[in-house]
Structure 1
Amino acid sequence: MSWFIPTTTVTLKRGETTDEFGDAVDGNTVVASGLPCAVTQSRGLGDQRSFVPSEARGGVVETFTLRFRPNVHVEEQDRVLDERQGLVYQVISVYNPQSVVGAADVRVTAIRVGAVSRPVNG
């Protein structure tokens, strides 16, 4: 049985393609859109410090938990676009727990990787 209250709707994107230089870039293949999703930010243990040698700087990687209705097919490395806020999350892991009663929510651990520009009044 599904117990979460959606906070937004999202679009799932999957796949890779190459740019004009032959470098791998994220593909824009839409797998599903308009999916109800609950997004919560992990606090404390969910945040990790990182160091990027090529940029000679450190930072904090914030992790998020995304919950979907049962039977939504999400894969690692999918990108999740928050349709309400324009934020983009990268899926790190997917957990499909067993449930004693009904089907359980699909739980995803993700990191925020960017945002989509859009008009403020749009």
Structure 2
Amino acid sequence: MQAIATTRISILRGTATDAYGDEVDTDTPIAAEIPAALTEQSRRVTTRDDPTPRIVRYAVARVAAGTDIQDQDRVRDERTGAVYIVDAVSSMANPAAAADLRLDLRRTT
């Protein structure tokens, strides 16, 4: 991992069916204690339709290349207990070294 880890995460994957027949996420960890660089940030945004500024919070994490993580997995920050949904997984191309994976996250708890 090239980024400096700020926490450790668990990757949660899987669904089950509840008593009403609805699909619900399970808290089954497929990997635990993975070093990650996790950053939460906020940005002030406006639109043409509504010029009133709003604060939007988002999170980005970096994990080592080759980590088994996919879109729509969930990530639990072991330090804070916060759970995030993985919106996107991306990586920069680098011929010299395996680049870290970038995770675009959305906080759920």
Distance in 2 separating the partners of 1:14 and 1:99? 29
Amino acid at match of 1:31: I
Distance in 1 separating the partners of 2:55 and 2:34? 28
Amino acid at match of 1:38: A
Amino acid at match of 1:40: T
Distance in 1 separating the partners of 2:9 and 2:88? 17
Amino acid at match of 1:9: R
User: Which runs of 4 or more aligned residues in structure 1 lie more than 3 Å from their structure 2 counterparts after TM superposition?
Assistant: none
Structure 2: gaps of 5 or more residues: 47-53
Aligned-partner SS, 1:101:
coil
Distance in 1 separating the partners of 2:55 and 2:89? 22
Alignment pair present for 1:79 and 2:71: no
The answer to whether the 8 A contact 1:16-1:25 is kept is yes
1:63 to 58, 77, 80: 58
Q: What is the CA distance between 1:60 and its match in structure 2? A: 5.9
Distance in 2 separating the partners of 1:106 and 1:25? 27
Aligned-partner SS, 1:107:
strand
Q: What is the CA distance between 1:61 and its match in structure 2? A: 5.1
Q: What whole-Å deviation, never above 9, does each CA across 1:47-71 have from its counterpart, x for those lacking one?
A: 79xxxxxxxxxx9652111100111
Q: CA RMSD in A?
A: 2.2
The structure with the greater share of residues assigned to helix is 1
Distance in 1 separating the partners of 2:92 and 2:68? 13
Match runs of 1:94-105 below 5 Å: 94-105=89-100
Give the structure 1 partner of residue 35 of structure 2. Answer: 36
The answer to whether the 8 A contact 1:15-1:27 is kept is yes
Distance in 1 separating the partners of 2:85 and 2:63? 15
Amino acid at match of 1:10: I
Distance in 2 separating the partners of 1:16 and 1:62? 27
